[in-house]
Amino acid sequence: MSCILKKNVCESLLGTILDIKGKSKDTVNARLDLADLKIRKELQLQHSGDSYDMPKARYTLSKSKKTQFCNFLQEAKFPDGYASNIQRCLNPDSIKWQGLKTHDCHILLQRIIPAGLRGLLDDDIYQTLAEFGKFFRELCSQKLNKDILARMKTEIPVILCKLEKIFPPAFFYVMVHLAVHLPDEAMVRGPVQFGWMYPIERHLCTLKRSVRNKARPEGSIAEAYVANEALTFCSRYMDDVETRFNRLPRNVGFSDQSAYTVDVFGHGVNLIGAFDLSYSEELDKLAWYVLHNCDQAEKYIKYVLKSIFCILHLFLNDFQISNLLIFLFLSYRMFEDELTASGVATADLERRTEQGFGSWFRNYVSILLLS
């Protein structure tokens, strides 16, 4: 149900905000309804001589802002498998949409509309649309919490009331009001991936494309399935042929992998969105991984250790550089013994050792030098 609901709601939102003819809910009949209900006098049709004028509403974009929103969609990039090529459905010259799939509306409603309309609409309208998209984003998360669902159940009526204060009554047909029942449905069903139809629809589309002889559809599907399995198996052994297993994704984070001379960083990363610099305990794990898996760092590690033990040899006459490995091993065991004595559980011992051995060893060597 949520798949069809999101598609209908998304098309109504885009049609009304972009004022697309045939898709917008802000029509002449909708303005006449406002006069019959005696509400929103500023949006009612204004008599001007022999004709009527339709005042511009706050929830529709101007021509320049429509162009700005369309340019945002044209420049948006997504990782492979996250969304389809939404640009193919957009005609920026005439500001029209065509061929939107259900999953396209799923991505637009949850991610693109809240991000693309920032600064283009009034704050109260944008905030309400962002809350509406956040509701569907939390509803479609991989894991659901009953406390969060209970909160969403109380929030969605308020969000719909805010939308009713913004959009005309014609916008609110049965599909929009069905959003009130989605938290209850999620409590009974569980996470949404167990109930929606995206995988089924995609697989049925694949099967339909494989039918060549309409008189024998089962045979065509079986033959296409065998051919696909055979080609998939063979493509894993064809390194010099471009296949779906070795071709580059559409949006590559960098173009020259040879510039990354350190092998642990040369596998490539596809960056989507803005970056955020922060320090956490994960940084210690990253340093531990690099020091133990990077061949290029080995010579520097040996140089640093050799320098440390040369200094120790100058101050400690009974210490020999040949005992380097023994000293390092004993230090490692000493640190583990200290953690065990402090009450660290055995299951957590390896993680704590990875995080703290470097700083402990540095302090330990400093104490030896001072003594």
Query: What does the pLDDT look like over 60-90, one tens digit per residue?
Result: 998 899 888 888 888 887 777 777 778 777 7
Does some domain include residue 229? Answer: no
- Between CA 102 and CA 89 the distance in angstroms is 12
Is residue 146 located within the same domain as residue 15? yes
Tokens matching residue 177: 């009001």
Does some domain include residue 234? Answer: no
Is residue 55 located within the same domain as residue 188? yes
Tell me which of 166, 194, 222 is where a domain ends.
194
Does some domain include residue 238? Answer: no
- Between CA 362 and CA 50 the distance in angstroms is 89
Q: How many separate domains does the chain show?
A: 2
Is residue 74 located within the same domain as residue 177? yes
Query: What does the pLDDT look like over 167-194, one tens digit per residue?
Result: 988 898 888 888 999 999 999 888 888 8
Question: Between 2-17 and 123-139, two packed helices, what is the crossing angle to 10 degrees?
Answer: 160
- Between CA 29 and CA 34 the distance in angstroms is 9
Q: Are 160 and 64 in contact (CB under 8 A)?
A: no
- Between CA 88 and CA 268 the distance in angstroms is 28
Does some domain include residue 72? Answer: yes
Q: Is 295 exposed, middle or buried (0-12, 13-18, 19+ CB in 10 A)?
A: exposed
DSSP line for 228-271: HHHHHHHHTT-TTS--TTTSPPSS-S-S-GGG--SGGGTT----
Of 135-139, 311-315, 339-343, 347-351, the range with the highest mean pLDDT is 135-139
Tokens matching residue 105: 């509306």
Task: Tell whether the model's pLDDT for residue 327 goes beyond 90.
Answer: no
pLDDT of residue 321: 46
- Between CA 201 and CA 173 the distance in angstroms is 26
Is residue 21 located within the same domain as residue 165? yes
Tokens matching residue 28: 């002449």
Does some domain include residue 143? Answer: yes
Amino acid at 219: G
Is residue 188 located within the same domain as residue 74? yes
Is residue 294 located within the same domain as residue 160? no
Instruction: Please compute the mean of the pLDDT values over residues 252-275 and round it to a whole number.
Output: 52
Task: Tell whether the model's pLDDT for residue 147 goes beyond 80.
Answer: yes
pLDDT of residue 183: 92
Does some domain include residue 169? Answer: yes
Q: Are 183 and 139 in contact (CB under 8 A)?
A: yes
Does some domain include residue 272? Answer: no
Is residue 39 located within the same domain as residue 184? yes
Is residue 34 located within the same domain as residue 147? yes
Amino acid at 42: E
Residue range of the domain that includes 363 = 282-370
Return the sign of the alpha-carbon dihedral for residues 208, 212, 217, 219.
negative
Tokens matching residue 222: 């079986």
Is residue 175 located within the same domain as residue 289? no
Judging by DSSP bridges, how do beta strands 46-48 and 51-53 pair with one another? antiparallel
Tell me which of 134, 160, 194 is where a domain ends.
194
Task: Tell whether the model's pLDDT for residue 319 goes beyond 80.
Answer: no
Task: Kindly report the pTM of this predicted structure.
Answer: 0.63
Is residue 178 located within the same domain as residue 297? no
| pLDDT: which is higher, 317 or 252 | 252
Is residue 153 located within the same domain as residue 293? no
Task: Tell whether the model's pLDDT for residue 201 goes beyond 90.
Answer: no
Per DSSP, the chain holds a count of helices (H) and strands (E) of 15, 4
Task: Tell whether the model's pLDDT for residue 145 goes beyond 70.
Answer: yes
Tell me which of 157, 177, 194 is where a domain ends.
194
Tokens matching residue 351: 């993680």
Does some domain include residue 121? Answer: yes
CA nearest 83: which of 97, 103, 69?
Answer: 103
